[in-house]
């Protein structure tokens, strides 16, 4: 039975809370008292088409809530089956809450929400339930006896086959659930295959790159030398020219002559001799360095391409080359595990 009908900003009504008791209830009043508003609100709660005129002038939205107690009703079984199919909880009490909102984006499309027992539902589900919840008799309204579903229910009760019908309904629900599970399993298998293929591809791509720990720092150093090769060669040549002037050799000859006349100058002579030896060694190293400095545009392009490849891999799989290498190992292990699970 209908136990309550609550309205907010519906038609001309600001707020109405109608709570009904068991038994026969009559609502009377003169024309314009609002009786038809209650009927209109109930039909809206049972799935009738929405209309902007249902929203009270000056309000942005309307809400209608209808409560039904079906615990001891013949409709309990059919309602329970339909709600079970729609994955809506039901324990005898049914609360339908439907809202309608004015458009705010300049369009003419009304907004709306529907909840049955606090679970989001579609108007289609509500319209299937409506014949089991109420019969509204009026102009151009159809009696429930004209509805095929109601006729089937009456025939089942007359034939005394409600239990068989319920058993078949349960098997149908079970079959539908198994169908959904089969679809989920098929989707899971396809997803697993896609996942394995992706992991294999990623691991193969990382392997093909031949990454080495510490490689990036070495490449950056090479890049700096290649970019500045011409400047490095010029600076090295200038340094070699300066060392080749042999000013230390001239100073060493002079200090040796001084030391022959004054023993106190011997330490100075030793120091200059050491500096001259270090200068000669530095000159040899500098010449080797200058010979190794080369202007090589092709090698520069290769290094820049390699640095770009490492950067792309870090963007996809880790902050460092070491993390990228570790990801490749994890990808291979996960792909192996997924394939073993399906075997």
Q: How far apart are CA 193 and CA 342, in angstroms?
A: 10
Site of tokens 């040796």: 256
Of the three residues 119, 141, 163, the one that is the final residue of a domain is: 141
Question: For the chain, where are the alpha helices, taking DSSP H only?
Answer: 35-45, 76-85, 123-133, 148-159, 162-209, 215-227, 229-244, 247-261, 266-292, 297-317, 321-342
Spell out the residues 6+ positions from residue 67 whose beta carbon is closer than 8 angstroms to its own. 2, 3, 4, 5, 93, 94, 95, 96
Q: Is 210 within a domain?
A: no
Q: Is 169 within a domain?
A: no
What CA–CA distances, in Å, run from 172 to 30, 131, 175? 51, 22, 5
Residue-wise burial string across 92-103, b where 16 or more C-beta atoms lie within 10 A, e elsewhere: eebebbbbbbee
Q: Is 76 within a domain?
A: yes
Q: How many domains does the chain have?
A: 2
**Same domain, yes or no: 219 and 129:** no
Q: Is 198 within a domain?
A: no
Whether this prediction's pTM lies above 0.95 is answered by no
Q: How far apart are CA 249 and CA 205, in angstroms?
A: 60
Q: Which two tokens stand for residue 306?
A: 């390699």
Q: Which two tokens stand for residue 180?
A: 């959904």
**Same domain, yes or no: 110 and 226:** no
- Residue-wise pLDDT tens digits, 186-227: 667 788 888 889 999 999 999 999 999 888 888 998 888 887
| CATH code of the domain in which 37 resides | 3.40.50.300
Q: Is 73 within a domain?
A: yes
- 331 is in which domain, residue-wise? 215-342
Of the three residues 141, 170, 194, the one that is the final residue of a domain is: 141
- Residue-wise pLDDT tens digits, 76-125: 888 888 888 888 898 889 999 999 998 876 666 788 899 999 999 989 88
**Same domain, yes or no: 111 and 224:** no
Q: Is 180 within a domain?
A: no
Of the three residues 120, 141, 162, the one that is the final residue of a domain is: 141
Q: Is 154 within a domain?
A: no
Q: Is 50 within a domain?
A: yes
């Amino acid at each position: 039975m209908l136990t309550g009908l609550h309205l907010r900003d519906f038609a001309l009504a600001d707020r109405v809370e109608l709570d009904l008791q068991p038994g026969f209830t009559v609502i009377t009043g003169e024309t314009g008292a609002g009786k038809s508003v209650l009927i209109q609100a109930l039909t809206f709660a049972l799935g009738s088409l929405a209309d902007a005129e249902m929203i009270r002038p000056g309000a942005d939205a309307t809400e209608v809530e209808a409560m039904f107690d079906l615990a001891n009703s013949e409709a309990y079984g059919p309602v329970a089956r339909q709600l079970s199919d729609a994955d809506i909880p039901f324990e005898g009490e049914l609360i339908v809450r439907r809202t309608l909102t004015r458009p705010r984006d300049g369009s003419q499309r009304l907004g709306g929400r529907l909840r049955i027992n606090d679970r989001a539902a579609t108007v289609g589900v509500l319209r299937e339930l409506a014949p089991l919840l109420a019969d509204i008799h009026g102009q151009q309204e159809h009696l429930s006896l004209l509805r095929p579903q109601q006729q089937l229910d009456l025939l089942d009760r007359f034939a005394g086959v409600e239990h068989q019908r319920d058993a078949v309904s349960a098997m149908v629900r079970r079959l539908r659930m198994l169908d959904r599970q089969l679809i989920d399993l098929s989707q899971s298998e396809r997803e697993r295959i896609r996942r394995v293929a992706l992991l294999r591809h990623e691991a193969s791509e990382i392997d093909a790159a031949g990454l080495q720990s510490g490689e990036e720092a070495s490449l950056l150093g090479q890049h700096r030398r290649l970019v500045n090769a011409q400047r490095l060669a010029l600076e090295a040549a200038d340094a070699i020219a300066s060392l080749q002037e042999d000013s230390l050799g001239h100073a060493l000859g002079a200090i040796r002559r001084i030391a022959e006349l004054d023993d106190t100058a011997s330490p100075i002579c030793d120091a200059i001799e050491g500096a001259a030896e270090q200068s000669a060694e530095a000159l040899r190293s500098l010449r080797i360095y200058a010979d190794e400095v080369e202007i090589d545009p092709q090698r520069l392009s290769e290094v820049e391409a390699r640095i770009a490849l490492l950067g792309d891999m870090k963007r996809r799989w880790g902050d460092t080359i070491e993390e990228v290498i570790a990801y490749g190992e994890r990808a291979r292990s996960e792909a192996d595990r997924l394939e073993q699970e399906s075997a």
